[in-house]
Amino acid sequence: MTLPIWLDNPGERVKDELDVAIIGGGMIGAGCAYLLSRRRGLRVGLVEARGLAGGSTGRSAGFVLRGIQPYYNQVARLYGRENARGIFAFAEESQAMVREFLSGRENTFDYVPCGSYLLASSLEELEDLHESAELMAEDGFELEYLKEDPIDRDFFGAIYNPGDFGVHPARLVEALVTAGGASVWQNEPVLKIHQEDTDEAVVQTPHRTIACRRVLLATNAYAALLEPYFRGKIQCARGQALVTQPLRKSIVDRLCYANYGWEYFRQLPDRRLLLGGCRQLHLEEEVGYAEVVTAPVQESLERYLKDRFPDVAGVTIDYRWAGLMGFTSDGLPLVGRLKQMPSVFFAVACNGHGLGYGLNMSRLLTETALDGRHPGIFSVDRESLAPPSQARTP
Ligand X SMILES: Cc1cc2nc3c(=O)[nH]c(=O)nc-3n(C[C@H](O)[C@H](O)[C@H](O)COP(=O)(O)OP(=O)(O)OC[C@H]3O[C@@H](n4cnc5c(N)ncnc54)[C@H](O)[C@@H]3O)c2cc1C
Residues engaged in binding ligand X (CB under 6 A): 1, 23-29, 47-50, 54-57, 59-63, 189-190, 218-220, 222, 226, 239, 241, 276, 323-325, 350, 352-356
43: left (phi over 0), alpha (psi -120 to 50) or beta: beta
- Phi and psi, residue 389, nearest 5°: -65, -20
Nearer to ligand X among residue 97 and residue 355 (C-beta): 355
Nearer to ligand X among residue 81 and residue 280 (C-beta): 280
Nearer to ligand X among residue 23 and residue 118 (C-beta): 23
Quote the least distance from Cβ 88 to ligand X, whole Å. 14
What gap in Å lies between CA 69 and CA 77, rounded to an integer? 13
Quote the least distance from Cβ 173 to ligand X, whole Å. 8
Quote the least distance from Cβ 28 to ligand X, whole Å. 4
Angle between helices 123-138 and 72-79 (to 10 degrees): 70
**Terminal-to-terminal C-alpha distance of the chain:** 27
70, 78, 349, 119: CA torsion to nearest 10? 0
Nearer to ligand X among residue 78 and residue 350 (C-beta): 350
Instruction: State the DSSP string of 277-326.
Output: E-GGGGTTTSBSS-----HHHHHHHHHHHHHH-GGGTTPPEEEEEEEEEE
Nearer to ligand X among residue 62 and residue 375 (C-beta): 62
What gap in Å lies between CA 227 and CA 216, rounded to an integer? 13
Nearer to ligand X among residue 68 and residue 133 (C-beta): 68
In this structure, how many other beta carbons lie within 10 angstroms of the beta carbon of residue 175? 22
Quote the least distance from Cβ 266 to ligand X, whole Å. 8
Quote the least distance from Cβ 300 to ligand X, whole Å. 14
Length of the chain: 394
Nearer to ligand X among residue 24 and residue 150 (C-beta): 24
Burial of 157 (0-12, 13-18, 19+ CB in 10 A): buried
Nearer to ligand X among residue 123 and residue 292 (C-beta): 292
Parallel/antiparallel/unpaired status of strands 44-47 and 14-23: parallel
Quote the least distance from Cβ 138 to ligand X, whole Å. 25
Quote the least distance from Cβ 95 to ligand X, whole Å. 11
- Spatial CB neighbours of 182, under 8 Å, sequence gap ≥ 6: 22, 33, 36, 37, 44, 45, 46
Give the residue closest to ligand X by C-beta.
26
Quote the least distance from Cβ 123 to ligand X, whole Å. 26
Quote the least distance from Cβ 148 to ligand X, whole Å. 25
Give, in order, the Cα–Cα distances in Å from 246 to each of 28, 251, 257, 271, 284. Answer: 30, 11, 21, 5, 33
Nearer to ligand X among residue 248 and residue 346 (C-beta): 346
